[in-house]
Structure 1
């Protein structure tokens, strides 16, 4: 029961500390009157041109996702090559060279099938 009291006191003191900090910030904060300039976006001291809510093409997002996909796939090729070197040297006992070739070609097949799919869909065309 004593441990529950300790937890309760700690939670109470934490709430008092956080609430006191927010109350002091509210009381001591500088307030200026609401104006158009105060609500305006600040962009390196340049006056904004047009609205802030513009539409971006989805193609930029898909292009970035494809870059991440192929970047990560390429990153996974390095450990595969290290394992390939160990198998070729005979250091990995349970893995045969034929099994490694099958897995490596399957990995590269998935990579290139994704690339061909994106190419056919026209995702790689930058407009």
Structure 2
């Protein structure tokens, strides 16, 4: 084996031992507050005693709106580099961006026609 491979293996082993020992030491040396039961209770949105079970079903509309938000929000990721390099891309880049935005607009029209964003 080469010296570099042996050295890198030793470094990984030492890092692993250090990380494991830090976790073990923090368990024994760190503060332990087992008397305070409020640390283990649920606290959500200002409600300390929630009402209802954890297996509550949500409408599929919430997930659909979330996925659509992510889908249409990603377009900004593609539009920003285009806006920065618009002069270098020229008319070909402009045409490609209009085609991209047209496809997104067609998708939005499709979603609107399917009434995916209407709440009842």
TM-score (norm 2): 0.62
Q: Tell me the equivalent position of 2:62.
A: 60
Give distance in 2, aligned partners of 1:9 and 1:51.
53
Q: Secondary structure at the match of 1:16?
A: helix
Specify the SS of the correspondent of 1:27: helix
Question: What is the correspondence of 1:12-23 to structure 2 with a 5 Å cutoff?
Answer: 12-23=13-24
Please state how far the C-alpha of 1:119 moved relative to its aligned partner.
Answer: 1.4
Q: Which runs of 4+ in 1 moved over 6 A?
A: none
Instruction: Assess if the C-alpha contact under 8 Å between 2:65 and 2:117 holds in 1.
Output: yes
CA distance in 2 between partners of 1:62 and 1:116 (Å): 15
Q: What is the aligned length?
A: 112
Q: Which runs of 5+ in 2 are unaligned?
A: none
What is the RMSD of the two structures over their aligned residues, measured on CA atoms?
Answer: 3.6
Larger radius of gyration: 1
Matching of residues 3-18 of structure 1 within 5 Å = 3-18=4-19
The aligned counterpart of 1:114 is: 107
For residues 10 and 80 of structure 2, what CA distance do their matches in structure 1 show?
54
Deviation readout 1:102-124 (Å, 9 max, x if unpaired): x5664454233212211122112
The within-5 A match list for 1:1-127 is: 1-29=2-30, 30-32=32-34, 35=37, 37-43=38-44, 46-51=47-52, 53=54, 54-73=56-75, 76=79, 79=82, 82=86, 86-87=90-91, 95=92, 100=95, 103=96, 106-127=99-120
